[in-house]
Chains A and B, each alone.
Chain A
């Protein structure tokens, strides 16, 4: 029994209660795939757990089991989607409305029925006004009509591409209960930390610094689910600790590369532990070099091309990511086949060519072999972004550019890059979220105010790219819109407002007893209704 291996007193107490109250022991003894407690590692404790407001992976990791979106990403569903709270969705020809048919017979965890009014409230009051992603996707949402309890019609003031809405469904449409939020200050509502949703698990307990506990929703709309009785998120902020906890069977699963990449080769040989690299296809992170175009040297395309030629993408993939990544060709990852094109200019690793380009640009090496100096700010969020920073410094030294590394904590890094513009080069890990319009075009678009995080704050202005982005935003026809984004990729790689280096998904490490991992391309942040434990 896994329960016996839990070390924390609080957990044991919870475990004892859980066992008394549930049928778990019987289910486990019968060796059925149903029941049991899954203990997983959590590396952060988000202050606000409401996924309708904070659409980020750290929040989804916990909240997606409790609060569901209208649709989830899928390996084999139509348009890469499978239904959740909506059973069907259809866009109008003129791009001014989208009609959702909602699932019937769904109840909230507090027993109230789920209706189209909840969807209308979430869309107009939360996604559009408060959510980091919804603010742009639903910017033109005017009203949501609810002709009956199972129909919601989204009406837009300007034509809005249905393709964009569809691609944003898994990440931007978490539905929250209107009856708990209406008439309150949504941003500070207590239900943001004690979640109430429609999902397969109920939010039961949170001990700061120790664990979150979710328990089975007996009244879940899918009667075959969930298979687990409980999910416990043990807070393990120390990344070195997750591997040891897995080996000691204190936890059964660590997602989001909580086990460092360098430890995977060793831990994959430990009996009873498996390393899984699938389940993150719709959560592709991109390793990019952000460029401050206000620096006169970097405003020169030849210098940017030289830097692109100086980066050995094979080294980055093989050594920094230990093979758990792919070299990027442009701003859209291969994992987004709907938009991806390989028909873009390429920059081979070629130090001689890089040096020649810099000579051509007029930046001759001085007596000490240096052409000019730069400030390089690697984002501190991942080991890999910091290691790439250290590598990039060496790669630049090889072409005579003296890069001085500046290390900051997250808050100081964001302020330096996105507000103060106090950088020359920065290393960033933006996420591709299923559609270029969600979080990718903002990386090169001009005219954004200072302070907008993860956006073009390098002072890059290109009328060509700006017009492609603006045109795509109002192109309803899916094929025409896709063609525009292929052109977008070509232009970005040709003009290098930023340099795409690599793209990666995360790694899950789990005990062999955990089954059905992964079952969709956003697995770690999906509802885990079909996840099971072998008895």
Chain B
């Protein structure tokens, strides 16, 4: 039977003043908040709030491979498990992982692999677990961004971070960072990610239609937005170590004071 309130989309995605329904300009990102070290048991972890998306990521590794036959004698393997909570979407999702989750896991894994030095860890695995507890459009990009942060938090050697965002076309106009409604009611959607060590595209999907001019506009807009996301990632990581530095400074000062008195 259907639900009592129906999941309906508006017909127009721009307000009269030219802004988007949530009040954003075309090239404006939703508010992003990130945090590292949120899951104490994990080797590395991160939490991300991106608009109404809420996502946890945890990294375990390098560790023994289960099942053992997946181990590679010359290098480590990266396994990403992207999952959504049953209550993260409008219609309750079935608890078992579906085809969509498996595909996105693979896309994210392929996106992240270039930044790691897997050849230095033969016979081991790195496992990245991503749990979306609230979804509102662009979860694969948000998940990639938070997974990179969790890997960095785990202290795993990396060539650089990777950041991801979706660009799209709504009501004929090209905009950055589609929200849930814009994603469902819009015409085109292009999630992409950049690995910063070579500034190349590492995740790319597209659904919709575009001409060549639009494609270059899409990619330019994405690059600009990705730069801003990268800055946030770097600041979050830095602030973790600054906090540790401040604490150790405090301890040193306290000890010195005790020595004087």
Do A and B originate from a single complex?
A: no
Q: Could you list which residues of chain B lie within 8 angstroms of chain A, going by C-beta atoms?
A: none
